Amino acid sequence: MTNRTVQAPWDGLLLDARLATLTDNGQPYGSVEDAAIGWKDGRIVHAGRAADLPGPAASLAREVASADGAWITPGLIDCHTHLVFGGDRAHEFELRLAGASYEAIARAGGGIASTVRATREAGEDALFDAALGRLRRLVADGVTTIEIKSGYGLDLPGERKMLRVARRLGTSSGVEVRTTFLGAHALAPEFAGRPDDYVEHVCEVMLPAIAADGLADAVDAFCETIAFSPAQTRRVFERARALGLPVKLHADQLSDLGGAALAAEFGGLSADHIEHSSEAGVQAMAAAGTVAVLLPGAFYALRDTQLPPIEALRRHGVPMAVASDLNPGTSPLLSLRLAMNMACTLFRLTPEEALRGATVHAARALGLADRGTLAAGQRADFVLWPVRRPAELCYWIGGTLASAVYAGGARIA
């Protein structure tokens, strides 16, 4: 056949953009000015100078548009959330304001246990609808990948229900969901006074069943005086390892139980919270390549005063991720960008560190190498921000700044 028009090879191309690639290209934010981004089949094919495009724009892609000078970043990654839960804990907020501590409320049967009751009672569709509403807010301001933990079921039906809802959120929202089994979050009421028996149940009944269902991408535990001891946590980690699942840990949030080092010993993807971690814990994380996940929302909501060891993390080169910890008790935070703002204001991260923390380092905390930067071959997850400079993503407190959100090359907000 003659005069056949050449099929435009790329799915989309945005011109007149400024890229914060978050690669190590020697520029702050890995930035590239006078840039363009092109994608095909869900992957980035060009993220660089427009002048380096391999031909005239109109011939390169099926859809060519202008970004109108917007900054484009990788899609934000919220690498630590408890997005799926029943009910709320606004009443405990009131109690804490009246002077009760988080630990005291937990010991009195409130806290995580009250969310467990509400979550067990909730139907699967109701859980899904409530979580989807929260997820939409995160997505509207740039989140394209989210980790969701179980841990409010504390029995096999309840944990399965939560993880099924989490998986369903992934298939129906366009966002990629990574699930984490957190059976060792709190002691199930049926096992009151028998924490070792509960840990055995987690290891021998729940974990193998969840793994067989393919419902969990990782395993987490809450290692704390009000939750599980290092020895109990170790048992959970050993079982996870035997089942081939990577681990992460709620570590050293309220006291230093050596959680950071324990997570590192098991090659953990991340140690999260870590306000009370020691220098030795940080060193162990550095040696193991374990990411530090900073959760300033919980620090803020609990009016904590013990800062995470930021200087030591920097000195030892431990990657610092930033996440919302979205949960009904300690971090009812519906914005990853607000967590980034808090990481700067409360923890003194630079805006660039906070943005790397919600992109490239967050990807690593989930064991994902295919996202978190803008580069050819990476997933086409990116966000347009009509701002003058990338620091504005951390500077504005709240609100919604994103003007367009793409995941796998499809526009999702």
Residues that bind ligand NIG in the complex, under the rule CB under 6 A: 82, 111-112, 115, 222, 250, 253, 298, 325, 327-331
User: Binder to Fe ion among 217, 256, 325, 381 (CB under 5 A)?
Assistant: 325
Contacted by 115, from ligand NIG, Fe ion, none: CB < 5 to 8 Å by type = ligand NIG
User: CA torsion sign, 59 to 64 to 68 to 70?
Assistant: negative
CB neighbour list of residue 97: distance below 8 Å, 6 or more residues apart: none
CB neighbour list of residue 174: distance below 8 Å, 6 or more residues apart: 139, 407, 408, 410, 412
At closest approach, how far in Å is the CB of 92 from ligand NIG? 9
Contacted by 31, from ligand NIG, Fe ion, none: CB < 5 to 8 Å by type = none
Spatial separation of the C-alpha atoms in residues 53 and 51, rounded to whole Å: 6
Please say which residue, 111 or 390, places its beta carbon nearer to ligand NIG: 111
* Amino acid of residue 310: I
At closest approach, how far in Å is the CB of 146 from ligand NIG? 15
At closest approach, how far in Å is the CB of 63 from ligand NIG? 41
CB 363 within 8 A of CB 77: yes
Contacted by 110, from ligand NIG, Fe ion, none: CB < 5 to 8 Å by type = none
At closest approach, how far in Å is the CB of 44 from Fe ion? 31
At closest approach, how far in Å is the CB of 254 from ligand NIG? 8
Query: What are the C-alpha distances in Å from 225 to residues 113, 230, 232?
Result: 16, 10, 12
At closest approach, how far in Å is the CB of 136 from ligand NIG? 21
Please say which residue, 19 or 236, places its beta carbon nearer to Fe ion: 236
Please say which residue, 53 or 223, places its beta carbon nearer to Fe ion: 223
Please say which residue, 253 or 359, places its beta carbon nearer to ligand NIG: 253
Contacted by 112, from Fe ion, ligand NIG, none: CB < 5 to 8 Å by type = ligand NIG
Contacted by 284, from Fe ion, ligand NIG, none: CB < 5 to 8 Å by type = none
Applying CB under 5 A, the site for Fe ion has a residue count of 1
- DSSP state, residue 316: T
Contacted by 329, from Fe ion, ligand NIG, none: CB < 5 to 8 Å by type = ligand NIG
Q: Closest CB to Fe ion belongs to which residue?
A: 325
Q: State both tokens at 395.
A: 């500077």
Contacted by 296, from Fe ion, ligand NIG, none: CB < 5 to 8 Å by type = none
Please say which residue, 115 or 270, places its beta carbon nearer to ligand NIG: 115
Residue located via tokens 């793409």? 406
Residue located via tokens 């919270």? 273
Spatial separation of the C-alpha atoms in residues 67 and 130, rounded to whole Å: 33
CB 45 within 8 A of CB 376: yes
Please say which residue, 222 or 382, places its beta carbon nearer to ligand NIG: 222
Which candidate, 257, 315, 253, places its Cα nearest to that of 103?
Answer: 253
SS3 category, 140:
helix
Spatial separation of the C-alpha atoms in residues 166 and 146, rounded to whole Å: 10
H-run or E-run covering 145: strand 143-149
At closest approach, how far in Å is the CB of 249 from Fe ion? 10
Please say which residue, 66 or 101, places its beta carbon nearer to ligand NIG: 101
Residue 224 is a binding residue for Fe ion (CB under 5 A): no
Spatial separation of the C-alpha atoms in residues 270 and 90, rounded to whole Å: 29
CB 189 within 8 A of CB 156: no
Please say which residue, 11 or 272, places its beta carbon nearer to Fe ion: 272
Q: Of the ranges 60-68, 213-221, 284-292, 321-329, which one interacts with Fe ion (CB under 5 A)?
A: 321-329
CB neighbour list of residue 319: distance below 8 Å, 6 or more residues apart: 291, 292, 356, 360, 361, 364, 365
**Helices and strands counted in the chain (H then E):** 17, 16
Please say which residue, 45 or 169, places its beta carbon nearer to Fe ion: 169
* Contacts to Fe ion by CB under 5 A: 325
